[in-house]
Amino acid sequence: MGLPESVKNCEKKNVSRFYSGLFAVVLLVACSKKEPDQPPPDFSNPAAPAQPAPAKFALSDLNNLRYLEGVWKGTMPNGNAFFESYHFVNDSTILRAGHTDSTLRRKSDSSYVVFRNGAVIDSGSTVSIAEKLDSALVDFRASPSYHFVWARQGNDAWTATIHSTQAGAERVTTYPMKRIRR
């Protein structure tokens, strides 16, 4: 006696599912097989880095910024004043603090300039890496469209100049800084 047609169809479907599953497993194993002489992929060296490699500095280069230590009054383009203080915490770290007024009783913000692994990094609102640092200036770059330069103007003055590009137009804003105490 033969099997009913519905059982035969069910058996065909199960056999078909079995071979489909077996094919998927064989395909998965074949695709994941690694040739013994094939090196693993190197993801540590991307073809197009998002940012240029930072310039290499020595720890002693950070001493070029020693003139910053103290309290400064800055002037915004509209003439309003702002106040900042800079303090060397140790030989590789500078604390920058923004203050609400000249009494320096309240901080409005703070950040660090640090030397780490040959790089000088500003941890402000946009993390920036120094591309140039000498006794006259430091040029920090956050991206191709944003960087800022601190240029020394003697022992008691310097300028902070911010360069930004938006929609192809460059905008440059300069803030003169005058020492109010060491």
pLDDT for 21-72, tens place per residue?
544 444 444 444 444 455 555 545 544 445 556 669 999 999 999 999 999 9
Alpha-carbon distance of 182 to 175, in angstroms, equals: 19
| CATH 3.40.50.720, applies to 59-181 | no
pLDDT for position 125? 86
74-88 residue pLDDT tens: 999 999 999 999 999
Distances in whole angstroms, Cα of residue 2 to Cα of each of 6, 8, 10, 11: 12, 10, 14, 14
**pTM of the shown model:** 0.69
